[in-house]
Amino acid sequence: MIRVLIIDDERHAREEMEALLNETGEVEVVGSCENAFEALKAINKHRPDVVFLDIQMPMVNGFELLSMVNSEIMPHVVFVTAYDEYSLKAFEEKTLDYILKPVSIKRINKTIAKLKELLITAQPVAFEAEEIKRIPCLIGKRIKLIGLDKVEFVSAGTRGHYLVTSEDEYYTDITLKVLEERTNLIRCHKQYLVNMDFVNEIALLENGLGVITTSSGGSVPVSRMYLKKIKSMLLL
């Protein structure tokens, strides 16, 4: 069975897609998500083989969602959209398939056949993630998109990942690994990424460690392993 995650902001569209996929008898629908945030969690949790992904979604669209997924668990992607040929063209080569709504069972069967072949030959996922420009963060029940140019550093704690800006701290579901790969944030510690644009000073400690002070006064530890790289970036 192919493990599938459905991501679409419209309830009826999700239900219809689920019904059609079940009809094929070839898939197991592991989840159905109505926005990118739920989807990010579900992908991390269920690690589906493939996502059927709507492009137009609130706040974070389908393309942006993919840029936030860890490359090791990146699923195959089937885009599903009503009328968006224009923007799809740009992604045609990178994506497995795309389906136009309303969807016929015939069209789904064709996609499933293609998928099965891919999975049997264990071909790598073709999708190349884009660079992340805004990071979705949870504030109470609201979601806020923080521009990368405002982030001073990111830390990973026991309860999750925190973006720190000059004004506030925000919780996010995106892992440090993804942020390191797809943003210009620099790893300076196992649990820290720093935005070099905000580095104010680096204090070098005796045991080969360092501490970065950011523009707004935050301090970020630098481990022995990354100190040399950081120093060379600062032309020291």
Partner 1 sequence: MDTLLFTQHNIFMLLQQMSVFLVIAYLFTKSPVFRTFNIGDLRPKQMIILYVVFSTFSIMGTYFGFPINDAIANTRAIGAVLAGIIGGPALGTAVGLTSGLHRVTLGGFTAVSCGISTTLEGLIGGLFHLYLVRTNQQSKLLSPKIAFIATFIAEIVQMFTILLTAKPYSEAVALVHIIYLPMIVANSCGSAIFVSIIRDQKSMFDKLGVIFSNKALRIADETLSILSKGFNQETADKLAKIIHQETKVGAVAITDREKVLAFHGIGSDHHKVGITLSAQPTIQAINEDRIIFIDGVRKRWKCTLSENCPLGSILSVPLRFENEVIGTINLFEPKNKLFLTMNKTLGEGITNLLSNQLLHVRYNEQKSLLVEAELKLIQAQINPHFLFNALNTIIAILRKDSDRARELLLHISNFFRTNLKRKGALATLEEEMNHVNSYLVIEKARFEDRLNLEINIDPDLLNIKIPVFTLQPLIENAIKHGISDMITPGTVKISAKRVDGMTFIAIEDNAGNCGEWDTTGLGMNIVEKRIKNLCGEQYGLEVDCVPEERTTVTVKLPERGCRSDKSTDY
Residue 214 binds to partner 1 (criterion: CB under 8 A): no
Restricted to residues 48-87, the positions that interact with partner 1 (CB under 8 A) are: 56, 58-59, 82-84
111 forms part of the interface with partner 1 (CB under 8 A):
no
The residue among 16 and 130 lying less far from partner 1, judged by its C-beta, is: 16
How many CB atoms are closer than 10 A to CB 187? 20
Task: Report, in Å, the least distance between residue 118 CB and partner 1.
Answer: 26
Q: How many residues interact with partner 1 (rule CB under 8 A)?
A: 23
Q: How far is the CB of 85 from partner 1 (least distance, A)?
A: 10
**C-beta of 142 vs 159, nearer to partner 1:** 142
Q: For residue 136, is the peptide bond before it cis, meaning its omega torsion is within 30 degrees of 0?
A: no
Q: What's the half-sphere exposure (Cβ side, CA atoms, 13 Å) at 147? A: 3
Q: Is 134 in the site for partner 1 (CB under 8 A)?
A: no
106 makes contact with partner 1 (CB under 8 A):
no
Q: What b-and-e string marks burial along 197-211, b requiring 16 or more CB atoms within 10 Å of the CB?
A: ebbeebeeeeeeebe
- Which of 143, 146, 186, 211 forms a contact with partner 1 (CB under 8 A)? 143
Nearest distance, CB of residue 101 and partner 1, angstroms: 4
DSSP track, 1-45 = -EEEEEE-S-HHHHHHHHHHHHHHTSEEEEEEESSHHHHHHHHHH
Contact between 35 and partner 1 by CB under 8 A: the answer reads yes
**Cβ of residue 169: shortest distance to partner 1, in angstroms?**
19
Q: Decide: is 37 part of the binding site for partner 1 (CB under 8 A).
A: yes
Q: Which of 14, 65, 33 is nearest to 173 (CA)?
A: 65
User: Contact between 19 and partner 1 (CB under 8 A)?
Assistant: yes
CB of 81 to partner 1, least distance (A): 9
Residue 204 CB partners (closer than 8 Å, separation 6+)? 210, 227
Which tokens hold the place of 169?
């701290």
Give φ, ψ of 77 to 5 degrees. Answer: -125, 130
The 86-105 site mask, x for binding partner 1 (CB under 8 A), equals --------------xxxx--
Give me the residues that bind partner 1 (CB under 8 A), please. 9-13, 15-16, 19, 35, 37, 56, 58-59, 82-84, 100-103, 141-143
